[in-house]
Structure 1
Amino acid sequence: MEEELQQAQAIYDTLIEFAVTYSFQILGALIILFTGWWMAAKIGDIVENLMTGRNIDITLSRFTGGACKIIVLALVIIIALGNIGISVTPLIAAVGAVGLGAGLAIQGMLANYAAGFTIIITRPFVLGDTIQVRGVSGVVDKVMLPYTILIDEDNVHIQIPNKLIVGEILHNSAEQMLIELEVGVAYSSDVDAVIDVLQQAVKAVEGISDEKAPAIGVDNFGDSSINFGVRVWALTTRHFEIKYALNKAIYDALKRAEVEIPFPQREVRML
Protein backbone atom coordinates (compact mmCIF):
# COMPACT_ATOMS: atom_id res chain seq x y z
CA MET A 1 0.00 0.00 0.00
CA GLU A 2 2.79 2.37 0.94
CA GLU A 3 4.60 1.66 -2.36
CA GLU A 4 1.43 2.43 -4.34
CA LEU A 5 1.05 5.74 -2.51
CA GLN A 6 4.65 6.60 -3.29
CA GLN A 7 4.12 5.78 -6.99
CA ALA A 8 0.96 7.88 -7.09
CA GLN A 9 2.78 10.74 -5.37
CA ALA A 10 5.64 10.47 -7.88
CA ILE A 11 3.19 10.59 -10.81
CA TYR A 12 1.41 13.57 -9.25
CA ASP A 13 4.69 15.42 -8.74
CA THR A 14 5.70 14.72 -12.35
CA LEU A 15 2.39 16.07 -13.65
CA ILE A 16 2.67 19.18 -11.51
CA GLU A 17 6.23 19.77 -12.65
CA PHE A 18 5.23 19.26 -16.29
CA ALA A 19 2.27 21.64 -15.93
CA VAL A 20 4.39 24.30 -14.28
CA THR A 21 7.20 23.95 -16.80
CA TYR A 22 5.21 23.59 -20.05
CA SER A 23 1.80 25.10 -19.29
CA PHE A 24 2.55 28.41 -20.98
CA GLN A 25 4.13 26.64 -23.95
CA ILE A 26 1.08 24.36 -24.36
CA LEU A 27 -1.25 27.34 -24.01
CA GLY A 28 0.76 29.25 -26.60
CA ALA A 29 0.68 26.27 -28.97
CA LEU A 30 -3.11 26.01 -28.63
CA ILE A 31 -3.50 29.73 -29.31
CA ILE A 32 -1.24 29.43 -32.36
CA LEU A 33 -3.20 26.40 -33.58
CA PHE A 34 -6.67 27.95 -33.26
CA THR A 35 -5.52 31.31 -34.65
CA GLY A 36 -3.80 29.57 -37.55
CA TRP A 37 -6.89 27.46 -38.25
CA TRP A 38 -9.01 30.63 -38.46
CA MET A 39 -6.43 32.37 -40.66
CA ALA A 40 -6.14 29.34 -42.97
CA ALA A 41 -9.92 29.29 -43.52
CA LYS A 42 -9.96 33.05 -44.17
CA ILE A 43 -7.04 32.91 -46.60
CA GLY A 44 -8.65 30.01 -48.48
CA ASP A 45 -11.94 31.92 -48.80
CA ILE A 46 -10.16 35.12 -49.89
CA VAL A 47 -8.19 33.30 -52.62
CA GLU A 48 -11.31 31.49 -53.88
CA ASN A 49 -13.43 34.69 -53.92
CA LEU A 50 -10.64 36.63 -55.63
CA MET A 51 -10.33 34.06 -58.42
CA THR A 52 -14.11 33.75 -58.79
CA GLY A 53 -14.39 37.55 -59.00
CA ARG A 54 -12.01 37.49 -61.96
CA ASN A 55 -14.23 34.96 -63.79
CA ILE A 56 -11.82 32.07 -63.29
CA ASP A 57 -13.36 28.59 -63.47
CA ILE A 58 -15.15 27.78 -60.19
CA THR A 59 -13.55 24.32 -59.94
CA LEU A 60 -10.03 25.73 -60.26
CA SER A 61 -10.93 28.52 -57.80
CA ARG A 62 -12.15 26.06 -55.16
CA PHE A 63 -9.15 23.81 -55.62
CA THR A 64 -6.68 26.70 -55.27
CA GLY A 65 -8.50 28.05 -52.20
CA GLY A 66 -8.49 24.62 -50.55
CA ALA A 67 -4.80 24.09 -51.37
CA CYS A 68 -3.88 27.46 -49.80
CA LYS A 69 -5.84 26.54 -46.68
CA ILE A 70 -4.03 23.20 -46.32
CA ILE A 71 -0.59 24.77 -46.83
CA VAL A 72 -1.19 27.49 -44.22
CA LEU A 73 -2.60 24.94 -41.77
CA ALA A 74 0.43 22.65 -42.20
CA LEU A 75 2.80 25.55 -41.46
CA VAL A 76 0.78 26.48 -38.37
CA ILE A 77 0.90 22.90 -37.04
CA ILE A 78 4.69 22.81 -37.51
CA ILE A 79 5.05 26.12 -35.62
CA ALA A 80 2.75 24.92 -32.81
CA LEU A 81 4.67 21.67 -32.37
CA GLY A 82 7.96 23.53 -32.36
CA ASN A 83 6.60 25.86 -29.64
CA ILE A 84 6.24 22.96 -27.19
CA GLY A 85 9.64 21.52 -28.08
CA ILE A 86 8.59 18.71 -30.38
CA SER A 87 10.89 18.19 -33.35
CA VAL A 88 8.90 17.74 -36.55
CA THR A 89 11.74 16.12 -38.54
CA PRO A 90 11.13 12.57 -37.26
CA LEU A 91 7.39 13.15 -37.62
CA ILE A 92 7.78 14.16 -41.26
CA ALA A 93 9.92 11.09 -41.91
CA ALA A 94 7.33 8.83 -40.25
CA VAL A 95 4.50 10.41 -42.23
CA GLY A 96 6.50 9.92 -45.42
CA ALA A 97 7.03 6.24 -44.66
CA VAL A 98 3.37 5.72 -43.83
CA GLY A 99 2.38 7.65 -46.94
CA LEU A 100 4.56 5.42 -49.12
CA GLY A 101 2.94 2.28 -47.75
CA ALA A 102 -0.54 3.73 -48.05
CA GLY A 103 0.20 4.88 -51.60
CA LEU A 104 1.10 1.36 -52.67
CA ALA A 105 -2.14 0.07 -51.12
CA ILE A 106 -4.40 2.63 -52.77
CA GLN A 107 -2.83 3.10 -56.18
CA GLY A 108 -6.20 3.24 -57.93
CA MET A 109 -7.48 6.01 -55.69
CA LEU A 110 -4.26 8.00 -56.08
CA ALA A 111 -4.52 7.60 -59.85
CA ASN A 112 -7.98 9.18 -59.70
CA TYR A 113 -6.66 12.08 -57.60
CA ALA A 114 -3.71 12.63 -59.95
CA ALA A 115 -6.08 12.59 -62.94
CA GLY A 116 -8.42 15.01 -61.17
CA PHE A 117 -5.51 17.37 -60.53
CA THR A 118 -4.62 17.18 -64.23
CA ILE A 119 -8.22 17.98 -65.24
CA ILE A 120 -8.37 20.97 -62.89
CA ILE A 121 -5.07 22.39 -64.15
CA THR A 122 -5.46 21.73 -67.89
CA ARG A 123 -9.25 22.38 -67.92
CA PRO A 124 -10.27 20.28 -70.97
CA PHE A 125 -13.85 21.05 -69.91
CA VAL A 126 -15.63 23.29 -67.39
CA LEU A 127 -18.93 23.19 -65.53
CA GLY A 128 -21.87 23.28 -67.93
CA ASP A 129 -20.01 21.70 -70.85
CA THR A 130 -21.43 18.65 -72.60
CA ILE A 131 -18.83 15.90 -72.84
CA GLN A 132 -18.81 12.37 -74.15
CA VAL A 133 -16.22 9.88 -72.94
CA ARG A 134 -16.13 6.07 -72.98
CA GLY A 135 -19.64 5.94 -74.43
CA VAL A 136 -21.17 8.12 -71.68
CA SER A 137 -22.36 11.68 -72.27
CA GLY A 138 -23.91 14.44 -70.18
CA VAL A 139 -23.54 17.94 -68.79
CA VAL A 140 -20.63 18.46 -66.39
CA ASP A 141 -22.11 19.18 -62.95
CA LYS A 142 -19.10 18.78 -60.63
CA VAL A 143 -15.37 18.20 -61.06
CA MET A 144 -13.86 16.72 -57.90
CA LEU A 145 -10.33 15.39 -57.41
CA PRO A 146 -11.36 11.69 -57.43
CA TYR A 147 -14.28 11.82 -59.86
CA THR A 148 -16.39 13.91 -62.24
CA ILE A 149 -20.21 13.99 -62.12
CA LEU A 150 -22.31 14.33 -65.28
CA ILE A 151 -26.07 14.87 -65.50
CA ASP A 152 -28.02 13.59 -68.49
CA GLU A 153 -31.43 14.69 -69.79
CA ASP A 154 -33.20 12.23 -67.46
CA ASN A 155 -31.54 14.01 -64.49
CA VAL A 156 -29.44 10.92 -63.79
CA HIS A 157 -26.15 11.69 -62.03
CA ILE A 158 -23.28 9.78 -63.66
CA GLN A 159 -20.09 9.51 -61.61
CA ILE A 160 -16.96 8.80 -63.66
CA PRO A 161 -13.56 8.12 -62.02
CA ASN A 162 -11.13 10.72 -63.30
CA LYS A 163 -8.53 8.13 -64.34
CA LEU A 164 -11.05 6.93 -66.97
CA ILE A 165 -11.23 10.47 -68.44
CA VAL A 166 -7.59 11.53 -68.68
CA GLY A 167 -5.90 9.95 -71.68
CA GLU A 168 -9.17 8.99 -73.35
CA ILE A 169 -10.73 10.45 -76.51
CA LEU A 170 -12.95 13.24 -75.15
CA HIS A 171 -15.78 14.94 -77.06
CA ASN A 172 -16.65 18.40 -75.73
CA SER A 173 -19.52 20.25 -77.42
CA ALA A 174 -19.88 23.00 -74.79
CA GLU A 175 -23.54 23.36 -73.74
CA GLN A 176 -25.02 21.77 -76.86
CA MET A 177 -25.32 18.35 -78.45
CA LEU A 178 -25.68 17.32 -82.07
CA ILE A 179 -28.97 15.79 -83.27
CA GLU A 180 -28.68 13.69 -86.44
CA LEU A 181 -31.74 12.53 -88.40
CA GLU A 182 -32.19 10.64 -91.66
CA VAL A 183 -35.28 11.06 -93.84
CA GLY A 184 -36.02 8.92 -96.90
CA VAL A 185 -38.21 10.12 -99.79
CA ALA A 186 -39.17 8.58 -103.13
CA TYR A 187 -36.79 8.84 -106.10
CA SER A 188 -39.47 10.71 -108.01
CA SER A 189 -39.29 13.63 -105.55
CA ASP A 190 -37.79 17.04 -106.36
CA VAL A 191 -34.58 17.22 -104.32
CA ASP A 192 -34.52 21.02 -104.04
CA ALA A 193 -38.19 21.11 -103.00
CA VAL A 194 -37.61 18.45 -100.34
CA ILE A 195 -34.62 20.38 -98.93
CA ASP A 196 -36.76 23.52 -98.74
CA VAL A 197 -39.53 21.62 -96.94
CA LEU A 198 -37.04 20.19 -94.43
CA GLN A 199 -35.52 23.62 -93.81
CA GLN A 200 -38.92 25.14 -93.08
CA ALA A 201 -39.81 22.26 -90.77
CA VAL A 202 -36.59 22.66 -88.79
CA LYS A 203 -37.08 26.41 -88.42
CA ALA A 204 -40.52 25.82 -86.92
CA VAL A 205 -39.08 23.86 -83.97
CA GLU A 206 -38.10 25.91 -80.91
CA GLY A 207 -34.83 25.26 -79.10
CA ILE A 208 -32.56 24.90 -82.14
CA SER A 209 -29.20 26.64 -81.79
CA ASP A 210 -28.94 30.09 -83.36
CA GLU A 211 -25.13 29.98 -83.38
CA LYS A 212 -24.75 26.92 -85.62
CA ALA A 213 -26.95 26.72 -88.71
CA PRO A 214 -28.69 23.40 -89.44
CA ALA A 215 -27.07 21.24 -92.14
CA ILE A 216 -29.56 19.60 -94.52
CA GLY A 217 -28.77 17.74 -97.73
CA VAL A 218 -28.70 14.43 -99.59
CA ASP A 219 -26.89 11.90 -97.41
CA ASN A 220 -27.01 8.72 -99.48
CA PHE A 221 -29.03 6.75 -102.03
CA GLY A 222 -30.91 3.80 -100.57
CA ASP A 223 -32.49 0.81 -102.26
CA SER A 224 -35.91 2.45 -102.41
CA SER A 225 -35.37 6.06 -101.32
CA ILE A 226 -33.20 9.15 -101.46
CA ASN A 227 -31.99 9.62 -97.89
CA PHE A 228 -31.61 13.19 -96.60
CA GLY A 229 -29.48 14.00 -93.59
CA VAL A 230 -30.57 16.60 -91.03
CA ARG A 231 -27.99 17.82 -88.49
CA VAL A 232 -28.93 20.44 -85.89
CA TRP A 233 -27.50 21.60 -82.57
CA ALA A 234 -29.62 21.92 -79.43
CA LEU A 235 -29.23 22.13 -75.65
CA THR A 236 -28.12 18.83 -74.14
CA THR A 237 -30.76 19.11 -71.43
CA ARG A 238 -33.47 19.10 -74.16
CA HIS A 239 -31.84 16.68 -76.59
CA PHE A 240 -34.56 14.05 -76.90
CA GLU A 241 -37.39 16.56 -76.50
CA ILE A 242 -36.17 18.54 -79.54
CA LYS A 243 -35.33 15.37 -81.48
CA TYR A 244 -38.88 14.07 -81.14
CA ALA A 245 -40.30 17.51 -82.03
CA LEU A 246 -38.12 17.57 -85.16
CA ASN A 247 -39.33 14.14 -86.27
CA LYS A 248 -42.96 15.20 -85.95
CA ALA A 249 -42.43 18.56 -87.66
CA ILE A 250 -40.61 16.90 -90.59
CA TYR A 251 -43.27 14.22 -90.99
CA ASP A 252 -46.10 16.80 -90.94
CA ALA A 253 -44.26 19.05 -93.42
CA LEU A 254 -43.63 16.21 -95.89
CA LYS A 255 -47.24 15.10 -95.60
CA ARG A 256 -48.54 18.62 -96.32
CA ALA A 257 -46.19 18.93 -99.30
CA GLU A 258 -47.39 15.52 -100.56
CA VAL A 259 -43.86 14.16 -100.63
CA GLU A 260 -43.92 10.39 -100.69
CA ILE A 261 -42.08 8.53 -97.93
CA PRO A 262 -41.51 5.07 -99.44
CA PHE A 263 -41.26 1.84 -97.50
CA PRO A 264 -38.90 -1.00 -98.44
CA GLN A 265 -40.28 -3.25 -101.15
CA ARG A 266 -39.09 -6.52 -102.62
CA GLU A 267 -40.27 -8.08 -105.86
CA VAL A 268 -40.38 -11.86 -105.86
CA ARG A 269 -40.85 -13.77 -109.11
CA MET A 270 -42.03 -17.36 -109.13
CA LEU A 271 -40.63 -19.48 -111.97
Structure 2
Amino acid sequence: MFLQSSIDVQTQKISTYTEKLWQIIIDYSPKLISAFIILFVGLYLIRIVNRLIRRIMLKRELDPTLSKFLADIFLWILRAFLFAAFISKLGIETSSFVAILGAAGLAVGLSLQGSLSNFAGGMLIILFKPFRVGDYIEAQNVTGEVSEIQIFVTKIIGANNQTIYVPNGALSNGTIVNLSQAGIRRVDLSIAISYNANLLKVKEIIEKILSDNPKILTNPEPRVDVIALADHVKIAVRPWVSFTDYPVIAAETLEKIKLELDAAEIALHPVA
Protein backbone atom coordinates (compact mmCIF):
# COMPACT_ATOMS: atom_id res chain seq x y z
CA MET A 1 0.00 0.00 0.00
CA PHE A 2 2.80 2.38 0.94
CA LEU A 3 4.77 1.40 -2.19
CA GLN A 4 1.77 2.05 -4.41
CA SER A 5 1.24 5.46 -2.79
CA SER A 6 4.93 6.35 -3.32
CA ILE A 7 4.73 5.37 -7.01
CA ASP A 8 1.61 7.51 -7.44
CA VAL A 9 3.35 10.50 -5.87
CA GLN A 10 6.40 10.09 -8.11
CA THR A 11 4.20 9.70 -11.18
CA GLN A 12 2.31 12.85 -10.25
CA LYS A 13 5.59 14.79 -9.83
CA ILE A 14 6.89 13.59 -13.18
CA SER A 15 3.63 14.59 -14.79
CA THR A 16 3.78 18.02 -13.16
CA TYR A 17 7.39 18.58 -14.25
CA THR A 18 6.57 17.41 -17.76
CA GLU A 19 3.65 19.82 -17.98
CA LYS A 20 5.81 22.69 -16.71
CA LEU A 21 8.60 21.81 -19.15
CA TRP A 22 6.15 21.61 -22.00
CA GLN A 23 4.66 24.93 -20.98
CA ILE A 24 8.13 26.53 -20.87
CA ILE A 25 8.88 25.17 -24.34
CA ILE A 26 5.58 26.52 -25.67
CA ASP A 27 6.16 29.91 -24.04
CA TYR A 28 9.81 30.15 -25.08
CA SER A 29 9.60 28.61 -28.57
CA PRO A 30 8.54 31.85 -30.33
CA LYS A 31 11.65 33.60 -28.97
CA LEU A 32 13.84 30.64 -29.88
CA ILE A 33 12.44 30.35 -33.40
CA SER A 34 12.62 34.09 -34.07
CA ALA A 35 16.19 34.24 -32.68
CA PHE A 36 17.38 31.50 -35.04
CA ILE A 37 15.53 33.10 -37.95
CA ILE A 38 17.41 36.34 -37.20
CA LEU A 39 20.68 34.39 -36.99
CA PHE A 40 20.34 32.52 -40.30
CA VAL A 41 18.87 35.45 -42.23
CA GLY A 42 21.54 37.74 -40.77
CA LEU A 43 24.37 35.39 -41.79
CA TYR A 44 22.96 35.22 -45.31
CA LEU A 45 22.65 39.02 -45.57
CA ILE A 46 26.15 39.53 -44.14
CA ARG A 47 27.55 37.23 -46.83
CA ILE A 48 25.79 39.24 -49.55
CA VAL A 49 26.95 42.57 -48.08
CA ASN A 50 30.53 41.30 -47.79
CA ARG A 51 30.56 40.25 -51.45
CA LEU A 52 29.12 43.63 -52.44
CA ILE A 53 31.81 45.48 -50.48
CA ARG A 54 34.57 43.42 -52.10
CA ARG A 55 33.16 44.15 -55.58
CA ILE A 56 32.99 47.89 -54.84
CA MET A 57 36.61 47.90 -53.63
CA LEU A 58 37.65 45.93 -56.72
CA LYS A 59 35.93 48.42 -59.05
CA ARG A 60 37.63 51.32 -57.26
CA GLU A 61 40.96 49.53 -57.80
CA LEU A 62 41.98 49.59 -54.14
CA ASP A 63 45.07 47.69 -53.07
CA PRO A 64 44.13 43.94 -52.91
CA THR A 65 45.67 43.49 -49.45
CA LEU A 66 43.89 46.56 -48.08
CA SER A 67 40.59 45.48 -49.67
CA LYS A 68 40.78 42.02 -48.09
CA PHE A 69 41.78 43.44 -44.72
CA LEU A 70 38.95 46.00 -44.62
CA ALA A 71 36.39 43.48 -45.87
CA ASP A 72 37.40 40.99 -43.16
CA ILE A 73 37.22 43.65 -40.43
CA PHE A 74 33.77 44.76 -41.62
CA LEU A 75 32.64 41.12 -41.76
CA TRP A 76 33.53 40.48 -38.13
CA ILE A 77 31.93 43.73 -36.98
CA LEU A 78 28.65 42.73 -38.65
CA ARG A 79 28.88 39.26 -37.11
CA ALA A 80 29.40 40.79 -33.66
CA PHE A 81 26.26 42.93 -34.04
CA LEU A 82 24.32 39.91 -35.31
CA PHE A 83 25.43 37.82 -32.33
CA ALA A 84 24.38 40.61 -29.95
CA ALA A 85 20.94 40.72 -31.61
CA PHE A 86 20.67 36.93 -31.40
CA ILE A 87 21.36 36.67 -27.67
CA SER A 88 19.16 39.69 -27.00
CA LYS A 89 16.26 37.97 -28.76
CA LEU A 90 16.83 34.90 -26.60
CA GLY A 91 16.27 37.10 -23.56
CA ILE A 92 19.86 37.18 -22.33
CA GLU A 93 20.90 40.49 -20.80
CA THR A 94 23.39 41.99 -23.24
CA SER A 95 24.95 44.44 -20.79
CA SER A 96 26.19 41.60 -18.59
CA PHE A 97 27.39 39.73 -21.62
CA VAL A 98 29.30 42.77 -22.89
CA ALA A 99 30.94 43.19 -19.47
CA ILE A 100 32.05 39.55 -19.54
CA LEU A 101 33.39 39.96 -23.05
CA GLY A 102 35.23 43.13 -22.01
CA ALA A 103 36.93 41.39 -19.10
CA ALA A 104 37.78 38.41 -21.28
CA GLY A 105 39.11 40.73 -24.00
CA LEU A 106 41.36 42.51 -21.49
CA ALA A 107 42.76 39.20 -20.25
CA VAL A 108 43.34 37.94 -23.78
CA GLY A 109 44.88 41.28 -24.79
CA LEU A 110 47.40 41.16 -21.93
CA SER A 111 48.37 37.61 -22.81
CA LEU A 112 48.67 38.33 -26.53
CA GLN A 113 50.61 41.61 -26.50
CA GLY A 114 53.00 40.32 -29.16
CA SER A 115 50.16 39.31 -31.46
CA LEU A 116 48.47 42.69 -30.98
CA SER A 117 51.76 44.38 -31.86
CA ASN A 118 51.90 42.30 -35.05
CA PHE A 119 48.28 43.20 -35.81
CA ALA A 120 49.06 46.92 -35.42
CA GLY A 121 52.18 46.47 -37.55
CA GLY A 122 50.10 44.81 -40.26
CA MET A 123 47.70 47.76 -40.28
CA LEU A 124 50.61 50.23 -40.57
CA ILE A 125 52.14 48.30 -43.46
CA ILE A 126 48.80 48.09 -45.28
CA LEU A 127 48.00 51.78 -44.75
CA PHE A 128 51.41 53.37 -45.41
CA LYS A 129 52.59 50.81 -48.01
CA PRO A 130 56.40 50.76 -47.57
CA PHE A 131 56.15 47.75 -49.87
CA ARG A 132 53.50 45.86 -51.83
CA VAL A 133 52.95 42.28 -52.87
CA GLY A 134 55.52 41.49 -55.56
CA ASP A 135 58.18 43.93 -54.25
CA TYR A 136 61.66 42.67 -53.47
CA ILE A 137 62.71 43.83 -50.00
CA GLU A 138 65.45 43.47 -47.44
CA ALA A 139 64.39 43.60 -43.78
CA GLN A 140 65.04 41.80 -40.49
CA ASN A 141 68.06 40.00 -42.05
CA VAL A 142 65.75 38.56 -44.71
CA THR A 143 65.85 39.28 -48.46
CA GLY A 144 63.20 38.15 -50.91
CA GLU A 145 60.00 38.83 -52.81
CA VAL A 146 56.86 39.75 -50.84
CA SER A 147 54.33 37.01 -51.54
CA GLU A 148 51.54 37.96 -49.15
CA ILE A 149 50.85 40.58 -46.48
CA GLN A 150 48.72 38.96 -43.79
CA ILE A 151 47.30 40.57 -40.66
CA PHE A 152 49.99 39.22 -38.33
CA VAL A 153 52.88 38.23 -40.61
CA THR A 154 54.32 39.00 -44.03
CA LYS A 155 55.16 36.06 -46.28
CA ILE A 156 58.44 36.42 -48.19
CA ILE A 157 59.89 34.07 -50.80
CA GLY A 158 63.69 34.01 -50.61
CA ALA A 159 66.10 33.69 -53.56
CA ASN A 160 66.44 29.95 -52.95
CA ASN A 161 62.62 29.59 -52.88
CA GLN A 162 62.41 29.38 -49.09
CA THR A 163 59.14 30.63 -47.60
CA ILE A 164 59.86 33.06 -44.76
CA TYR A 165 57.27 34.51 -42.38
CA VAL A 166 58.31 37.80 -40.77
CA PRO A 167 56.19 39.20 -37.87
CA ASN A 168 54.60 42.49 -38.88
CA GLY A 169 55.42 44.15 -35.54
CA ALA A 170 59.17 43.75 -36.02
CA LEU A 171 58.86 44.52 -39.74
CA SER A 172 57.01 47.82 -39.26
CA ASN A 173 59.37 49.00 -36.50
CA GLY A 174 62.59 48.14 -38.33
CA THR A 175 64.46 49.32 -41.40
CA ILE A 176 62.95 48.19 -44.71
CA VAL A 177 64.98 48.38 -47.91
CA ASN A 178 62.65 48.18 -50.92
CA LEU A 179 64.97 47.03 -53.70
CA SER A 180 62.39 47.02 -56.49
CA GLN A 181 60.25 50.09 -55.81
CA ALA A 182 62.28 52.41 -58.08
CA GLY A 183 62.21 49.89 -60.94
CA ILE A 184 65.94 50.16 -61.65
CA ARG A 185 69.01 49.25 -59.66
CA ARG A 186 72.73 49.93 -59.85
CA VAL A 187 75.06 46.96 -60.20
CA ASP A 188 78.13 47.53 -57.99
CA LEU A 189 81.10 45.50 -59.23
CA SER A 190 84.81 45.95 -58.60
CA ILE A 191 87.96 44.53 -60.16
CA ALA A 192 91.63 44.89 -59.31
CA ILE A 193 94.50 45.31 -61.78
CA SER A 194 98.23 45.77 -61.26
CA TYR A 195 100.05 49.09 -61.66
CA ASN A 196 101.77 47.71 -64.74
CA ALA A 197 98.45 47.29 -66.61
CA ASN A 198 97.32 49.91 -69.10
CA LEU A 199 94.58 51.65 -67.10
CA LEU A 200 93.09 53.53 -70.06
CA LYS A 201 92.94 50.32 -72.11
CA VAL A 202 91.19 48.49 -69.23
CA LYS A 203 88.59 51.26 -68.91
CA GLU A 204 88.05 51.27 -72.66
CA ILE A 205 87.40 47.51 -72.71
CA ILE A 206 84.98 47.67 -69.80
CA GLU A 207 83.09 50.67 -71.19
CA LYS A 208 82.66 48.86 -74.52
CA ILE A 209 81.32 45.79 -72.71
CA LEU A 210 78.75 47.95 -70.95
CA SER A 211 77.72 49.88 -74.08
CA ASP A 212 77.32 46.67 -76.13
CA ASN A 213 74.87 45.15 -73.63
CA PRO A 214 71.30 46.27 -74.57
CA LYS A 215 70.02 45.48 -71.09
CA ILE A 216 72.30 48.07 -69.49
CA LEU A 217 70.63 51.48 -69.29
CA THR A 218 72.18 54.61 -70.79
CA ASN A 219 70.26 56.88 -68.40
CA PRO A 220 71.56 56.91 -65.72
CA GLU A 221 74.91 56.53 -67.46
CA PRO A 222 77.11 53.58 -66.43
CA ARG A 223 80.34 54.53 -64.68
CA VAL A 224 83.83 53.00 -64.68
CA ASP A 225 85.97 54.71 -62.04
CA VAL A 226 89.20 54.17 -60.14
CA ILE A 227 88.24 54.09 -56.48
CA ALA A 228 91.41 52.96 -54.68
CA LEU A 229 95.19 52.83 -55.06
CA ALA A 230 96.70 50.32 -52.69
CA ASP A 231 98.90 47.35 -53.61
CA HIS A 232 96.72 47.28 -56.73
CA VAL A 233 94.42 49.58 -58.71
CA LYS A 234 90.80 49.03 -57.77
CA ILE A 235 88.21 49.87 -60.41
CA ALA A 236 84.47 50.20 -59.72
CA VAL A 237 82.08 49.14 -62.47
CA ARG A 238 78.60 50.61 -61.93
CA PRO A 239 75.99 50.03 -64.65
CA TRP A 240 72.27 50.68 -64.12
CA VAL A 241 69.78 47.98 -65.07
CA SER A 242 66.13 47.07 -64.71
CA PHE A 243 65.56 45.44 -61.34
CA THR A 244 64.51 42.13 -62.92
CA ASP A 245 67.79 41.98 -64.90
CA TYR A 246 70.04 42.71 -61.90
CA PRO A 247 71.28 39.22 -60.95
CA VAL A 248 71.87 38.13 -64.55
CA ILE A 249 73.66 41.33 -65.61
CA ALA A 250 75.95 41.23 -62.56
CA ALA A 251 77.14 37.73 -63.39
CA GLU A 252 77.33 38.29 -67.16
CA THR A 253 79.33 41.52 -66.82
CA LEU A 254 81.94 40.01 -64.51
CA GLU A 255 82.38 37.03 -66.82
CA LYS A 256 82.65 39.23 -69.91
CA ILE A 257 85.24 41.51 -68.26
CA LYS A 258 87.40 38.51 -67.35
CA LEU A 259 87.25 37.06 -70.86
CA GLU A 260 87.95 40.36 -72.62
CA LEU A 261 90.88 41.25 -70.35
CA ASP A 262 92.35 37.77 -70.87
CA ALA A 263 92.02 38.27 -74.63
CA ALA A 264 93.88 41.59 -74.29
CA GLU A 265 96.53 39.85 -72.16
CA ILE A 266 95.71 42.03 -69.14
CA ALA A 267 95.83 40.08 -65.91
CA LEU A 268 93.60 40.79 -62.96
CA HIS A 269 95.32 41.36 -59.66
CA PRO A 270 94.55 38.80 -56.93
CA VAL A 271 92.81 40.34 -53.94
CA ALA A 272 93.28 38.77 -50.52
TM-score class, shorter-chain normalisation, is: 0.7 to 0.9
Letter in 2 for 1:262: H
Corresponding residue for 1:261?
268
CA contact (8 A) 1:40 1:68 kept: no
Following superposition, the deviation at residue 178 of structure 1 comes to: 5.1
Query: How far apart, CA to CA, are the structure 2 residues paired with 1:239 and 1:11?
Result: 82
Query: How far apart, CA to CA, are the structure 2 residues paired with 1:208 and 1:42?
Result: 51
Q: Comparing 188-197 with 32-41, which one deviates more in the overlay?
A: 188-197
Corresponding residue for 2:114?
108
Q: Comparing 13-22 with 152-161, which one deviates more in the overlay?
A: 13-22
Query: How far apart, CA to CA, are the structure 2 residues paired with 1:128 and 1:35?
Result: 39
TM-score of the pair, normalised by structure 1: 0.83
- Number of positions where the alignment pairs a residue of Structure 1 with one of Structure 2: 264
Structure 2: runs of 5+ lacking an equivalent: 1-5
Q: CA offsets per residue over residues 54-101 of structure 1, 9 Å max, x none?
A: 222111010011111111111112222222222211111101101111
Corresponding residue for 2:32?
26
CA contact (8 A) 2:190 2:234 kept: no
Return closer, same or farther for 1:139/1:5 CA change in 2, 3 Å cut-off: farther
Query: How far apart, CA to CA, are the structure 2 residues paired with 1:4 and 1:127?
Result: 72
Q: CA offsets per residue over residues 18-65 of structure 1, 9 Å max, x none?
A: 221121221221121122212222222322232233222111010011
Letter in 1 for 2:61: N
Identity %: 24
Return closer, same or farther for 1:109/1:15 CA change in 2, 3 Å cut-off: same
Query: How far apart, CA to CA, are the structure 2 residues paired with 1:184 and 1:4?
Result: 105
Query: How far apart, CA to CA, are the structure 2 residues paired with 1:18 and 1:213?
Result: 87
28, 42, 45: which one aligns with 1:39? 45
Query: How far apart, CA to CA, are the structure 2 residues paired with 1:183 and 1:140?
Result: 33
Return closer, same or farther for 1:123/1:226 CA change in 2, 3 Å cut-off: closer
Return closer, same or farther for 1:82/1:112 CA change in 2, 3 Å cut-off: same
Return closer, same or farther for 1:234/1:67 CA change in 2, 3 Å cut-off: same
Corresponding residue for 1:268?
none
Following superposition, the deviation at residue 196 of structure 1 comes to: 4.0
Corresponding residue for 1:183?
191
| Higher alpha-carbon Rg | 2
CA contact (8 A) 1:43 1:65 kept: no
100, 120, 136: which one aligns with 2:142? 136
Q: Comparing 157-166 with 46-55, which one deviates more in the overlay?
A: 46-55
Corresponding residue for 1:158?
164
Return closer, same or farther for 1:211/1:124 CA change in 2, 3 Å cut-off: farther
Following superposition, the deviation at residue 184 of structure 1 comes to: 1.7
Q: CA RMSD in A?
A: 2.9
CA contact (8 A) 2:136 2:146 kept: yes
Following superposition, the deviation at residue 193 of structure 1 comes to: 4.3
Query: How far apart, CA to CA, are the structure 2 residues paired with 1:11 and 1:119?
Result: 61
Return closer, same or farther for 1:239/1:228 CA change in 2, 3 Å cut-off: closer
Corresponding residue for 2:90?
84
Query: How far apart, CA to CA, are the structure 2 residues paired with 1:19 and 1:245?
Result: 82
CA contact (8 A) 2:46 2:79 kept: yes
Q: CA offsets per residue over residues 102-159 of structure 1, 9 Å max, x none?
A: 1111211221112112212222211011111122111111111111111122111111
241, 253, 257: which one aligns with 1:250? 257
* 3-state SS, counterpart of residue 74 of structure 1: helix
Query: How far apart, CA to CA, are the structure 2 residues paired with 1:264 and 1:127?
Result: 40
Following superposition, the deviation at residue 169 of structure 1 comes to: 1.5
CA contact (8 A) 1:147 1:160 kept: yes
Structure 1: runs of 5+ lacking an equivalent: 266-271
CA contact (8 A) 1:219 1:229 kept: no
TM-score of the pair, normalised by structure 2: 0.83
